[in-house]
Structure 1
């Protein structure tokens, strides 16, 4: 046996370790299911940290000061700052899987691990992390995601009691792409509550935390993830960009760069093309969107959400042809209601010739999707959790 292990490559040893650990975790998860479900225990999960839709539902539950046991699970709990009333646990640790096995309510924004199985009297709310989607997802791109992931995703949807949607468009997409026949509530996205609030005090606080004077304007560059190793697709000349934006919209612009979590570890390899604030590790993308006056992205669904604040969005997609072949889109990209540039030169030109009337085109586009954002999604999700737990105590 020792000789066989010696002949294994480092990669094979890592995979062996993962397999053994996964089996160990699975066994304990099912052992923990013998313990009774805690009627007031709520587990909230977001693998990337304290952000996205789950963050705002958690904060709403905290504000209600009810006798709930709130447990937040993520990959890096050491980076999470949250109320002391919430217990923080690391994904796939024994304490985390015990919490999952015994909680009354699960609230999630991603897919759960394959070993996790909901018990009969547990209630699972899936908030999802995508909302509007340009890129095809889940069941609409099964070949791209692979058999293993699709199998896990189908299992996750089968366990789900409630999906929360932000529009009629998304509801239809969830039905199809998530293989889901259960309840879908069109309450909006909890993370959009922040953007629609337009909290000026919070905006100034976020700017101060980033070292930005409150009188300056902000352009947020937030490209999405590509599987390609070509990092040049993320590069942008920030000084020139800010100069063009200042000429067009007035004021002095500061650039913020926000890379996808899967790209941020490679960010040190990117060329430094002008002054910008690297906010790739900033905990909450939506706080950055709140303070931004202009968004530049490529294929990210943030284009639609940012547009709901009636602020300019520019799409910079220098690798459009390759990306389209890799993933596929729900919308015909060139016909999207935003100025689209395929080179930096075109981006400058789109900024120079931008007209306020272009926002009316965006509004009509969003109206066709039948958007249901009201700024109260977090409240509605928390209300449902209250109802579920109240029903449990009546039994």
Structure 2
């Protein structure tokens, strides 16, 4: 059962809320205009608290990516012991057991009063994608957008989509701070998201915090992950981490192909781990994974990479992260001829390095 803190917070932080109980924590608003109105009301009524930090990864998919890496570092730092942390998650089932009774962490779900309330309360907001379209940053709030990978697929403005992704542009323009991992992504975000000449915040080309989870993992954490996954210490560990197909809104994945791949992977003399992109999960139900290891949500992707000896992937930008380990990568591109016409490409600077035989 969820601990008391999965749907709670210190009373001192809740004095400005307009509803209580399930109406505050669980009831979701569905109407877009009502959401905008309610968020505006909270922005007006709730004073900003510089010691509250709000985190969200991929619309609340789970605690993951660079926001999680920053949380893990800040949470353990004695200098921030008096700060309260708020995580946006799609389901309370995604709350790690070790945090369910942690008084310094609160969990909220999108489109609830609780989510909007803490968005208005937090002095610092950390995200890696898009916050809700009803979010409007208050002047005194600091908003860090870390983004979530090197643009392997088409992103933002392209020849086929000259206006680009309006939601991403609107969201990034509200950020006070933006991180990029390399010159390629700096240029991509400035040009593909129409930031050049209009972005008034700070853009820092300093890498992704999530890489620290992989490159600087403590040995005791690595041992716990291996134990939790049930890895055989006498075997190498292979991670298969494919991405979704199609476009946002029409995402898909070939479950039949996956079943064939899983069948082949089960024959390897290795610990084989399967990590699906979170968008894929709705398309691959009822798949028999056999002896393939499927990690729980409590183990984030970059932690998996830390205990991986070989990565198998396709068009996922995960391989850019894994390059830093100098370990082998297999690019499994079974639909290479069709894929570029479905999802597009970011440009030859990336794709010329990859071929069907890599």
| TM-score (normalised: structure 2) | 0.79
- The CA distance in 2 between the partners of 1:137 and 1:336, in whole Å, is 18
Offset, 1:331? 4.3
Q: Confirm whether residue 33 of structure 1 aligns to residue 46 of structure 2.
A: no
| Larger-gyration structure (1/2) | 1
The residue aligned with 2:152 is 134
The one-character-per-residue Cα deviations of 1:59-81 (angstroms, maximum 9, x if unpaired) are 11111232222211121233112
Aligned-partner Cα distance in 2 for 1:237–1:285: 20
CA distance in 2 between counterparts of 1:97 and 1:329 reads 35
Q: Quote the Cα distance in structure 2 between the aligned partners of 1:142 and 1:157.
A: 22
Residue correspondence of structure 1 range 10-25 to structure 2 within 5 A: 20-25=30-35
Instruction: Work out the CA distance in 2 between the residues paired with 1:276 and 1:105.
Output: 40
Distance 1:198 1:142 in 2: 42
Native 8 Å contact 1:194 1:286 kept in 2:
yes
User: 1:293 is matched with which residue: 309, 332, 345?
Assistant: 309
Secondary structure at 2:126's aligned position in 1?
Answer: strand
2:281 to 254, 260, 264: 264
Q: Counterpart in 2 of 1:231?
A: 255
Q: CA deviation at 1:133?
A: 2.0
The structural deviation recorded for 1:220 is 0.5
Gaps of at least 5 residues in structure 2 are 1-27, 246-250
Residue 93 of structure 2 corresponds to which residue in structure 1?
78
CA deviations on 1:248-293 (whole Å, 9 max, x unpaired) are xxxx411111112122233334465x63112375641122211110
Which residue does 1:355 correspond to in 2? none
**Shift in Å, 1:330:** 2.4
Tell me, yes or no, if structure 1 residue 254 matches structure 2 residue 271: yes
- Structure 1 counterpart SS, 2:327: coil
Corresponding position of 1:125 = 144
Q: Please name the residue that 1:194 is paired with.
A: 213
Q: Give the alignment of 1:1-395 within 5 angstroms.
A: 20-34=30-44, 35-46=46-57, 47-65=60-78, 66=80, 67-81=82-96, 82=99, 83-130=102-149, 132-140=150-158, 143=161, 150-180=165-195, 181=199, 182-226=201-245, 227-228=251-252, 230-238=254-262, 240-241=264-265, 252-270=269-287, 275-279=291-295, 281=297, 283-332=299-348, 335-336=352-353, 340-341=356-357
User: Per residue, is there more helix in 1 or in 2?
Assistant: 1
The runs of 5 or more residues in structure 1 that have no matched partner are 1-17, 245-251, 342-349, 351-395
